[in-house]
Structure 1
């Protein structure tokens, strides 16, 4: 997922490592932070793979030159491959989808639609699970009653959020379908 982020950001222009880390901190939200100990080894591996190029900028006036990263042709190809790769349905699906969606303008319409359709399937599967679990709880009425009632509130919240997300994604799919590209 972080490879996609780095390549996507470099598609938009050259950046230094600190800037990449700051953008990722904001993109991932307050509870999903990336450390320097994760980002810089990743950048080194990506340089080794030939996906990005490192150049030193000595015009900053500091003691050490800044490391500026730029995407290579191989990196452009890897970015496209990562954007085309189907979403995996797991605990990171939502974050991975959001990272992909940020870079939609850099990929063809069919890749955007495929990603949106995959995410719609993910949301519909989650909603089906919640609905079936609600029906099971309603039928069997497990005890204690107070816990059952609170569980039903939680499931109601999840169902409402799922319905809202599904409606938003369906509208997004229609918007992408109606674009010229």
Structure 2
């Protein structure tokens, strides 16, 4: 996931490590953090593999040297591969993060790649919605004890269903919007 982010950000232009970390921190929100201990080894691996280049600025106004990263043709190819990889239901929230990152970089891939990503995400949303409605139906029909917990669980599932319905509607509209676009 972080490889996609780094390569995607470098598709937009050269960046230094601190800027990448700052943009990523704001992209994933308060729930997750990326540490320097995760980002900088990834940047080193991408540099070693030839997917990005490292340039060192002589000296910044603060007296420190700054490392600037730039994507290479091999990095662009890897970026396209990552964008074309199917979305798969995964760990809690992981699929959603990957989907969000992919959406940010849609302008760098072909229409068919964007549509495939949106359609995969729509199937995941619909599958999750089906699981929620199935379990909600079970709770309504079987009425397991304790009653207070069952009632609260039904409230939770109502919330999840409403969120899913909104997501499904938005993704469906986005698919239609992209289908009617020129390349």
- Give deviations 1:98-151, integer Å, cap 9, x for gaps: 000000001000000000000000100000000000111111100111110000
* Displacement after TM superposition at 1:63 (Å): 3.3
1:1-181 equivalences in 2 (<5 Å)? 1-90=1-90, 91=92, 92-181=94-183
Q: With the length of structure 1 as denominator, give the TM-score of the two structures.
A: 0.98
Name the TM-score, length of structure 2 as normaliser: 0.97
* TM-fit CA distance, 1:59: 4.5
Q: 2: CA distance between counterparts of 1:180 and 1:22?
A: 34
Q: Distance in 1 between matches of 2:88 and 2:75?
A: 22
2: distance between equivalents of 1:38 and 1:48?
Answer: 16
- Mapped to 1, the partners of 2:153 and 2:147 lie a distance apart of 10
Tell me the C-alpha RMSD between the 2 structures. Answer: 0.8
Unaligned runs of 5+ in 2: none
Residue deviations 1:65-110 (CA, integer Å, cap 9, x gap): 2000000000000000000000121120001100000000010000
Structure 1 residue 64: Cα displacement: 3.0
Q: Which runs of 4+ in 1 moved over 4 A?
A: none
Give the gaps of 5 or more residues in structure 1.
none
Aligned partners of 1:95, 1:61: CA distance in 2, in Å? 35
* Structure 2: distance between partners of 1:170 and 1:39: 34
CA distance in 2, matches of 1:102, 1:145: 44
Q: Is the partner of 2:55 in helix, strand or coil? A: strand
Hey, what's the Cα distance between the residues in 1 that align with 2:56 and 2:84?
Answer: 32
Q: Paired residues, what number?
A: 181
